Amino acid sequence: MIVLGIETSCDETAAAVVSGTREILADRVRTQIEDHHPYGGVVPEIAARAHIEHLDRLIDEAMSEAGVSWFEIDAIAATSGPGLIGGLMVGLTSGKALAAALAKPFIAVNHLEAHALSARLTDGIEFPYLLLLVSGGHCQLLIVKDVGQYVRLGTTVDDAVGEAFDKAAKLMNLGYPGGPAIERAAKDGDPTRFDMPRPMLGRDGCHFSFSGLKTALRYKVRDLTLSEKLSIIDIADLAAGFQAAVADVLVDRSRHAIQEMRARYHYARTFVVAGGVAANQSLRARLSKLAEEEGFTLVVPPPALCTDNGAMVAWAGLERFSRGLTNSLAEPPRARWPLDPDAAKAPGAGARG
> Once rounded to an integer, what is the mean pLDDT over residues 292-307?
96
**C-alpha–C-alpha distance, residues 16 and 26, integer Å:** 5
| Structural domains in the chain (count) | 2
Q: Is 347 among the domain residues? A: no
The answer to whether 141 and 153 are in contact (CB under 8 A) is yes
Checking if the pLDDT of 16 tops 70, the result is yes
Residue 275: CATH number of its domain: 3.30.420.40
The answer to whether 337 and 112 are in contact (CB under 8 A) is yes
Which backbone phi and psi does 287 adopt, to 5 degrees? Answer: -70, -30
Hey, how many other C-beta atoms are within 10 angstroms of the C-beta on 71?
Answer: 8
Checking if the pLDDT of 310 tops 60, the result is yes
Do 205 and 103 lie in one domain? The reply is no
Digit-coded pLDDT (tens) for 235-244: 999 999 999 9
**C-alpha–C-alpha distance, residues 86 and 333, integer Å:** 9
**Given pLDDT bands bounded at 50, 70 and 90, which one contains residue 13?**
very high
Q: Is 263 among the domain residues? A: yes
Do 109 and 210 lie in one domain? The reply is no
Checking if the pLDDT of 353 tops 60, the result is no
**C-alpha–C-alpha distance, residues 201 and 215, integer Å:** 17
Q: Is 142 among the domain residues? A: yes
| Diameter over CA atoms, the chain | 67
Digit-coded pLDDT (tens) for 163-176: 999 999 999 999 88
Q: Is 7 among the domain residues? A: yes
Q: Is 165 among the domain residues? A: yes
Checking if the pLDDT of 182 tops 90, the result is yes
* pLDDT score, position 38: 85
Q: Whole domain around residue 64: which residue ranges?
A: 2-117+307-322
Do 44 and 132 lie in one domain? The reply is no
Checking if the pLDDT of 351 tops 50, the result is no
Do 147 and 189 lie in one domain? The reply is yes
Digit-coded pLDDT (tens) for 74-129: 999 999 999 999 999 999 999 999 999 999 999 999 999 999 999 999 999 999 99
Do 149 and 110 lie in one domain? The reply is no
Checking if the pLDDT of 61 tops 80, the result is yes
